[in-house]
Each structure stands twice: as structure tokens, then as C-alpha cells.
Amino acid sequence: MPHFTEDSLQRIIINPFYAITVAQSLTEERELSMGEAEWVRANASLMEEMGNERWLRQLLDVLEGKVPAPQGPIDPSQAVNIDPLFAAEHPPLIGREMWVEVNVTQIRNMGAEGWLRQLLDVLGGDIVTAEDVGFAPPGSTFGYGGSGRSSAQWRGKKTRKKRRHT
């Protein structure tokens, strides 16, 4: 029986992998030009100024590499090393507009700063696997983007990420 927690549902909804493929160049390991807290504050202000829908559409454009100079304030790779998994070629599971609409509601529910912090966590690799919600037997390989990583490997990454925040 699948088991979704509020946190796992939020991380599934926020995950842009379901709507787009992230540009390979954004997933390369790099020196971060700003801290997570600074990026979150800057983008919460930008969201207020631009409106959540417009900001989310621009985020997807930046992540896909459609914007010529991705070093603008919206670019999350300034604050987190985006997991290379996000650049794996795959067909979108939902349309961009549906992702935007659902996340406008999610931002309203979580608040901009909470949503932005969770987006950085997800892009850093804190994703929900089939095993996490009971759709795959323990220890099975979760074919998320064909990565071949097991859920246990993801959990290890999540644990390291969580420790880094404390």
C-alpha cells in the first residue's frame, strides 16, 4: 500500500524533472556563487515582484537552458549543485503549464521561502523514490531517469544533505 507523507508529496510536486529536462551545463559541479539563504531571500522578493506564475515559467526556462544568460538571480545552480540526474533525457510526465499551476498553489500553501528551500533540496538530489512511497520492493533499483541508483543510495544522499543544513 503506497504511503505518501506531506513532505514526500511536496517534494514530488516541486520536482521539475516531471515537466522538463535540465540543461547539462547546470548540473556540472561548481563553486557556488551564493548561499542557499541568500538565494531564497532574493527569489522570494523576485516572486513577489514578478508574480509566482511568471517566476515559475522563467525558472523552467533557466533550468532548460533556454535563457541565454542563466546567471540571473533565478538560476538555482548559483546556490546548489544540481544533481546530474536532472539532465537525463526523458519524456515529460506532465506539461509545463500543469507544473506551473500546481506549484503556484503549492507556493501559496508553503510560503515562497519554504517552497524555495525545498526546491533547492530537491534539485540537490533529495527526491522521492518509488521505494520511499511503497511502490517498489526494498532494495530494488528505482529507474528514475535511468540512473540505476538504488533508493538506499538516494537515502544516503538525503541524509548527507540534511546534515549539511544543521
- Using one digit for the tens of pLDDT, what is the confidence trace for 137-150? 555 444 444 444 43
Query: Is 63 within the bounds of a domain?
Result: yes
- Determine the structural domain holding residue 108 and report its residue range: 6-128
Interior/surface letters 97-110, b for 16+ CB within 10 angstroms, e for the rest: eebbebbeebbeeb
Query: Is 134 within the bounds of a domain?
Result: no
Query: Is 153 within the bounds of a domain?
Result: no
The number of angstroms, rounded, from the C-alpha of 155 to the middle of its chain's C-alpha atoms is 16
CB neighbours of 59 closer than 8 A, spacing ≥ 6? 16, 74, 76
4: pLDDT strictly greater than 80? no
Query: Is 137 within the bounds of a domain?
Result: no
Task: Measure the CA–CA gap between 2 and 131, rounded to whole angstroms.
Answer: 9
Check: CB of residue 124 under 8 Å from CB of residue 82. yes
pTM for this prediction: 0.77
pLDDT in tens, 87-135: 999 999 889 999 999 999 999 999 999 999 999 999 999 877 666 655 5
- Residue of higher predicted confidence among 77 and 134: 77
- Residue of higher predicted confidence among 140 and 36: 36
Task: Measure the CA–CA gap between 99 and 34, rounded to whole angstroms.
Answer: 26
Nearest alpha-carbon partner for 124 in 1, 5, 4, 14? 14
DSSP summary character for residue 150: B
Query: Is 10 within the bounds of a domain?
Result: yes
Task: Measure the CA–CA gap between 78 and 21, rounded to whole angstroms.
Answer: 18
Query: Is 117 within the bounds of a domain?
Result: yes
Number of domains in the chain: 1
151: pLDDT strictly greater than 50? no
Query: Is 164 within the bounds of a domain?
Result: no
Query: Is 135 within the bounds of a domain?
Result: no
Measured between its terminal Cα atoms, the distance across the chain in Å is 33
- Residue of higher predicted confidence among 86 and 139: 86
